[in-house]
Amino acid sequence: MTTVGILGGGQLARMLALSGAPLGLRFLVMDNVADACAGQFAPMVVGDYRDETTLAEFASRVDVATFDFENVPSESAQWLSERVQVFPNPRALATAQDRLAEKTLFQKLGIPVPPFAAIDTREQLDAAIAQIGTPCILKTRRLGYDGKGQFRIKTTADADAAWDALGAQASKVGLILEGFVHFERELSVVAVRGRDGEFRTWPLTENWHVDGVLSASLAPARVDSALAQVAYEHARKLGEALDYVGVFALELFCRDGELLANELAPRVHNSGHWTIEGSETSQFQNHLRAVLGLPLGDTRMVGLACMLNWIGEMPSATPVLAEPGGHWHDYGKLPRAGRKVGHATVRADSAQALATSLQRVGEGLGRQAQVDPVIAALARS
Ligand code: ATP
Ligand code: MG
Ligand code: MG
């Protein structure tokens, strides 16, 4: 009996555990809170990610370890990797945890990025704003997620407010200033790399964010196949450079038909949730296969799929379940503003059928604004 350890017990760990059950896998989740939602399906150890006693107990009970959460302290990942196999490797995790390190790697690999500069002091912020220009975004280098730890600078007059909001973080987690990209669309590549270096991607996904949080994803993205190939090639290079094992996502902006890399998520990704019902093998199943050294499953799609995120509280399931290709995922979390509590995937065999289903779901839930951009994309050729 193989036990997979997962650091972090959120919905990603929960969906990993659910997808691993048919493989006969056991799971052990470590989280710093006892009510983490993966704990409803897997035994847990609860403790701080830096606590050696908790980490030692976790390591002693698992055959291999992976992450649901990219902000596990890199020293803890390193400590664990000296005792048990850890995938992805701690270097890949450390690179993806730091926006400066990841953007530097993108550049080194010839993957275009928005202009950026590391910021340690107020003087550097002023100099970087002058150099990069406005609008731009000041971000924490580490620990940000769902758009947290970011300040949008519209004009140079916003520099004071940006520094008031994030300046104190400069000495703690570091800061980075990035040029604001007026993108036509956001895309992501969800990719998997096996222990033997075998590399696969799922079809390119188009994403819509609201207030910095993912709201909807559509696969395959409505872009031409040459652009998708460029995105897959960027992901392949990254996977090789990091000697990555498992699933990762590369977030991209598309501007004037060109791709700019935003960030790398060293784990299964929200923009890949549609793969559960929309592809031959889900990102969760393939992540487990990769970390266990099993053959990777086919990533081909079955039709088209749209994923809708539920933020804050769960809506009624009925309009989604009433659709022929409607699927429901409730993470079993308590409602809280801004929290990802569940998602739905709507699958169909044609763009027209998917648009019709989404229209009914939008009306049924009173969430037209969430489905409209996806329906508009489906109308594009
Ligand atoms: P995630 O939850 O994806 O990990 P995060 O907190 O790491 O989010 P980003 O992905 O950097 O943050 O930013 C969140 C969203 O804010 C992006 O998906 C995009 O919509 C917008 N955004 C971030 N950086 C830029 C930029 N340089 N130009 C334009 N929009 C941006
Ligand atoms: Mg991120
Ligand atoms: Mg992001």
What ipTM score was computed for the predicted complex, to two decimals? Answer: 0.98
Q: Which of 32, 29, 35 is nearest to 14 (CA)?
A: 29
Indicate whether 210 pLDDT > 80: yes
* pLDDT score at 306: 98
Kindly compute the dihedral angle of the four CA atoms of residues 204, 205, 206, 212, in this order, to the nearest 10 degrees.
Answer: -130
- pTM, two decimals, is 0.97
The listed CATH number (3.40.50.20, 3.50.50.60, 3.30.590.20, 3.40.50.1820) that belongs to domain 3-86: 3.40.50.20
Residue among 11, 211, 262 to mutate when testing ligand 1 (max atoms within 8 A of CB): 262
171 C-alpha to ligand 3 centroid (Å): 23
Centre a 10 Å sphere on the Cβ of residue 260 and count the other Cβ atoms it contains: 18
Query: What is d(CA 188, CA 221) in angstroms, rounded to the nearest whole number?
Result: 9
Q: From the alpha carbon of 147, which atom of ligand 1 is closest? A: 6
Q: How is the chain split into domains, by residue range? A: 3-86, 115-179, 185-379
Cα-Cα end-to-end distance for the chain: 49
The mean of the pLDDT values for the chain is 97
Q: pLDDT band for position 339 (50/70/90)?
A: very high
* pLDDT score at 302: 86
| CA 298 to each of CA 214, 223, 248: distance values in angstroms, whole numbers, following the listed order | 26, 22, 16
Q: Does domain 115-179 have CATH number 3.40.50.2000?
A: no
Kindly compute the dihedral angle of the four CA atoms of residues 138, 141, 142, 148, in this order, to the nearest 10 degrees.
Answer: 10
Q: Does domain 185-379 have CATH number 3.30.470.20?
A: yes
* pLDDT score at 146: 86
- Does ligand 1 lie within 6 Å of residue 102's CB atom? no
User: What is the residue type of 367?
Assistant: R
Q: What residue numbers does the annotated binding site for ATP cover?
A: 99, 139, 144-150, 178-181, 186, 209, 262-263
Cis bond upstream, residue 135 (ω within 30): yes
Mean of the pLDDT values across residues 98-121? 98
Q: What pLDDT digit, counting tens, does each position of 238-291 carry? A: 999 999 999 999 999 999 999 999 999 999 999 999 999 999 999 999 999 999
Q: pLDDT band for position 224 (50/70/90)?
A: very high
Q: Side-chain half-sphere of 71: how many Cα atoms within 13 Å?
A: 13
- Does ligand 1 lie within 6 Å of residue 266's CB atom? no
